[in-house]
Chains A and B, each alone.
Chain A
């Protein structure tokens, strides 16, 4: 102990439990955060690897089906190769060549020696015109080893490599790989054509959207079949949003952990305060005291992070299996990304260390012994200033909330305003509650006494002056409850909102949409193609929204219109039956738009369109209001038929498909992807199932996090409360000397402890609901409170505290009274 660092560590050793519980809290949080984050990264990486395994480096493959008459001619291949968006083209020829040894035709792939082919088929050796590669299954059947020679179509080839069986569909076909020129020549000879290849593996240039490229390639030959190498869209988007959810939860976990550690340090500071005061009297500067606390907090933080890291490393194998099974997400448990783990651990360290500046700062307030007040400072400084700041913060919050709902710029700035208002409300609350709370308790005092007895009265009387000292305990509990409420309400509200949204989106059980913004799909033609599918009962189309103007009394009023097939829409019941006959210039408008602009059925209106050259709205023609609909799809103000020809500045957007056999219809529609690669086929049943699955994935993670936080918070809170109780042993001894029975003393202790917890829980629930309500104003809708979570967390804490403090109360009331009365408690 020859340096300040030495003093810091020396004082450490005397407070083992606080140190240990702090390290444990950080370790548990680090393990939780690391496990969640690495799980999410791993899941995303697994998906990427699965894609790579299936497709290699290619972005799409292009060719013609065997049953089509078209072939990939040298000219066509050259044209495709010259496309600006294409980076690399690799030719593949497919044939069935006779393997003499087996006297049977084997699926033969002719490949070039480039990275696209090698990554797709997983071979590494150079394939010249006399080389062959085969899959391991076939090699085993032939008892073949590298260097062996085989006759294929009566020509000799040398085996240069064996590759793993490609089990794409479950079954592993036997495959031979030869040089592409060899197979091409064979096909050209056998089929008497000039096919340059069966299909092409294509790598797009960096930044090129594969869907856009596929559109362009289609323009060379509309019969081209294009397969795009993509991850399961649903899985990909699910994992992305899961990742965001996990990041948000991780931040919350770190914040709660920091509060726990701060509380522990408050305790440590309180225990060491006398010693610090002595040191100040001996000449220690505030900087030296602060350095001691900083060293201690850094040591605890580093130890906790390292322990958490090790725990995460050793548990990840089992944890991944369990979590992947629970959440139905594929992962590869063997991959513990050290780099990512270290980065996350460092970030966690920094976040916690920033919070630990608070106790370090508070340590500078310790006065030298002689000038230290014998009684602790009971009242908050600057009470009036706190009240004023609270009023200002709440005022600004209210103003921002109102702005976020009424201002024209609310779409852009609304969410940010709401977020700021939440922060201000929380800050205001943190400032005001220690001043309000004693007043509330004073008010409650007589009622509490009547309801719960004299011991309860003593507890509250004792508690009121201690509010300042125990602010952190109450904050910890309320933060935990806030997270529980916010998380559960948000998730449940999103779940209900999603279910409602799905019902709204799926006007029919199946939806076919385009993923491209400027698609070249002809809606009318595409509708006919889909209609011809055997399991499709009915289909209607819907365009993107175009902007027109209702020209009325010299004014131009915006009208978002969609071009649809009105007859088909009517057949499907997606619009009401018309009273009047349909004409080319029939206009269907929404009830809202009709009310706003005083329009009626039968009325003729003038519509205009903005002309870029003239930079003004030009009249487009007159249209007749044929029907007014209560509900319009996709937020359109109006529908026009494709036959109108006037307002057509739209593209294909979606098809609404009805079917009696949804699964088969979906398969048939999926098959159309080779003709229309940009389409996305979704059905309500699957989407609802996916939405539920996604919800339960997040719910599962949320429950895991809350459970861990409850345990951590309980350790921190109970530790603080135990020390709180033990520091008052002299007071309890005085109560016993005045005649309070051991049972009565237990009641006093339990009342006090449970009162802290109840106050924290109530505040947490209120602030949690308020925060959630404000944030959900971003997208107003139903607000669903999950009472089970609130009850579960509250019960866990109250049952835990009652159990532990029953023992503590017992212990204190059984101590030797004379000793307790003379105990200094320092």
Chain B
């Protein structure tokens, strides 16, 4: 099961067309994500990382290419209302700015995806309870986001993302707004969640430190995957840094 591919991306291209100009944000991308694997996507600004995440979350439509999730490739997945259903059933989002609903409490924020999915009320309670315990938020369950620290808010966001047990989690710079210690805490939470729930995670970051928590790193440059790295578990940081420096200076790059 662990070696099974949960996500297969083939020849994905995204071209933005405007008045008299064309921008290729993604250029013939292909990769797979295994069950229970955390893959970090690294690249400079404008390399196509966010575009990839948007497309995988059915928030944007590719120009060409296919996406198979759990072996299923749906042609209509980018049109409404199928796009909403796809997000609801298959994707958990973790945002850099947390994006919790400010008027709802911690447990209500976590319960929200279940409510949207139409899960029965008693089932919602038990699932929410499980996640609150997993995230260590028991004392904060009735608090609203404005009463929490950044780290706590991101835990709530993680809890919200995993409560429906989606096939994949898409995390966009999850530690971007956090200090070093809190970032570590969050990343450890993500790794632990991945292990406990066998969760597949795609994580976008520009921080090599963050990338070391992943199982694998994909390096993006100008819309293409230019390099990959399989994390060994130690001394990954230097290797990742090295590869990252190379992609930021393309004239010196050697593959």
Contact = CB atoms under 8 A, between A and B. Distances in A.
Interface of A: 1-4, 6-7, 10-11, 13-14, 272, 274-275, 278-288, 368-371, 826
A779 to B, nearest CB: 53
16 contacts: A4-B115, A10-B103, A11-B101, A14-B103, A279-B116, A281-B57, A281-B59, A281-B93, A283-B86, A283-B87, A283-B113, A283-B117, A286-B80, A368-B87, A370-B50, A371-B54
Interface string B81-104: 100111111010101000111111
Interface of B: 50, 53-54, 57, 59-60, 80-81, 84-89, 91, 93, 95, 99-104, 108, 111-113, 115-117, 121, 124-125, 160
Given A284-B84, A370-B57, A11 B103 contact: yes
Chain A binding site: helix, strand, loop or mixed by DSSP? Answer: helix
A785 B95 CA distance: 60
A285 B57 CA distance: 14
A370 B121 contact: no
Given A1-B108, A2-B121, A285-B80, 10 more contacts: A2-B124, A4-B116, A10-B104, A11-B101, A14-B103, A282-B112, A283-B91, A283-B116, A283-B117, A286-B84
Most buried by A among B50, B108, B125: B108
Given A1-B104, A1-B111, A282 B88 contact: yes
Contacts of A368: 59, 87
A281 B95 CA distance: 10
Nearest to A13: B103
Given A6-B115, A7-B115, A11-B103, A283 B84 contact: yes
A10 B105 CA distance: 10
Given A4-B115, A11-B103, A285 B81 contact: yes
A283 B103 contact: no
Contacts of B116: 4, 279, 282-284, 288
B126 to A, nearest CB: 12
A8 to B, nearest CB: 11
Contacts of B50: 370
B85 A282 contact: no
Given A1-B108, A287-B81, A370-B59, A282 B93 contact: yes
Contact of B95 (A7, A284, A287, A369): A369
B121 A281 contact: no
Contacts of A288: 116
A287 B80 CA distance: 10
B89 A283 contact: yes
A275 B115 contact: no
The 8 closest A-B pairs by CB, nearest first: A283-B88, A14-B103, A2-B121, A283-B87, A285-B84, A370-B59, A275-B101, A278-B99
Nearest to A369: B99
B202 to A, nearest CB: 14
Contacts of A287: 81
Contacts of A7: 112, 115
Nearest to B113: A282
A826 B103 CA distance: 11
A369 B95 CA distance: 10
A279 B113 CA distance: 8
A274 B43 CA distance: 28
A281 B170 CA distance: 11
A285 B85 contact: yes
A281 B54 CA distance: 10
Given A370-B57, A371-B59, A3 B99 contact: no
B103 A2 contact: no
A282 B87 contact: yes
A403 B91 CA distance: 62
B216 to A, nearest CB: 24
B251 to A, nearest CB: 33
Given A278-B101, A282-B116, A371-B60, A10 B108 contact: yes
B160 A282 contact: yes
Contacts of B108: 1, 10
A822 to B, nearest CB: 14
A285 B102 CA distance: 20
A272 to B, nearest CB: 8
Nearest to A284: B116
Contacts of B111: 1-2
Contacts of B124: 2
A369 B117 CA distance: 18
Contacts of A2: 111, 115, 121, 124-125
Nearest to A281: B93
A368 B160 CA distance: 16
Most buried by A among B60, B81, B99, B115: B115
Contacts of B81: 285-287
B59 to A, nearest CB: 5
A7 B116 CA distance: 9
A353 B117 CA distance: 28
Contacts of B115: 1-4, 6-7
Nearest to A368: B59
Contacts of B91: 283
A368 B78 CA distance: 13
A603 B93 CA distance: 100
Contacts of A281: 57, 59, 87, 93, 99
Contacts of B104: 1, 10-11
A187 to B, nearest CB: 86
A282 B100 CA distance: 11
A288 to B, nearest CB: 6
B145 to A, nearest CB: 11
B143 to A, nearest CB: 14
A383 B125 CA distance: 49
A1 B91 CA distance: 22
Contacts of A284: 84, 88, 116
A826 B59 CA distance: 22
A11 B115 CA distance: 14
A690 B36 CA distance: 89
A3 B121 contact: yes
A2 B118 CA distance: 9
